[in-house]
Amino acid sequence: MNPSAIHRQHETTCIPELAGQVCSAFKAVSHENSQIFGVFYMQLSGAWYRFFLDAGLLFWQDGPAPDPYDDLLDGEAYIDLGNVLGVVGSSITEISMHDCQLLLQFENGARLTLRNGVEEVGATAVELVARK
């Protein structure tokens, strides 16, 4: 199976197909001075993935690289989560969605847990652990 052809739209799911893939970029769209994230972009072993949380569901698909002309509204910017977490060059070990929370775990010990409840707008980071 081509790991880049992955699509999810679920409230409970895992993406084991991507375990072991190396992260070369990880960005999120956020409004300036906000801790709420909209869309996320992650490049794993050369393939780009776009994902977001809405109504307690994970929406994940392969797609193009981030494009500020298409992605950003006035007052929005990319946050370089790859740098914040220290995961560029690290393999992903787990991607799982359960109980309105998405867990992204990396082989270097970095971890990001995002939450989006059914009535919430955007995703908030409930746990952000940078590399050890």
Amino acid in position 79: I
pTM, entire model? 0.91
| pLDDT tens digits, 77-104 | 999 999 999 999 999 999 999 999 999 9
Task: Using alpha carbons, select from 37, 34, 16, 15 the residue that is nearest to residue 26.
Answer: 37
Q: Can you give the pLDDT at residue 94?
A: 97
| Cα–Cα distance measured from residue 39 to residue 67, given in angstroms and rounded to the nearest whole number | 12
pLDDT of 19-73, one tens digit each? 999 999 999 999 877 888 999 999 999 999 999 999 999 999 999 999 988 888 8
Kindly report, residue by residue over 102-129, the tens digit of the pLDDT. 999 999 999 999 999 887 888 888 888 8
Tell me the C-alpha distance between 54 and 62, whole Å.
17
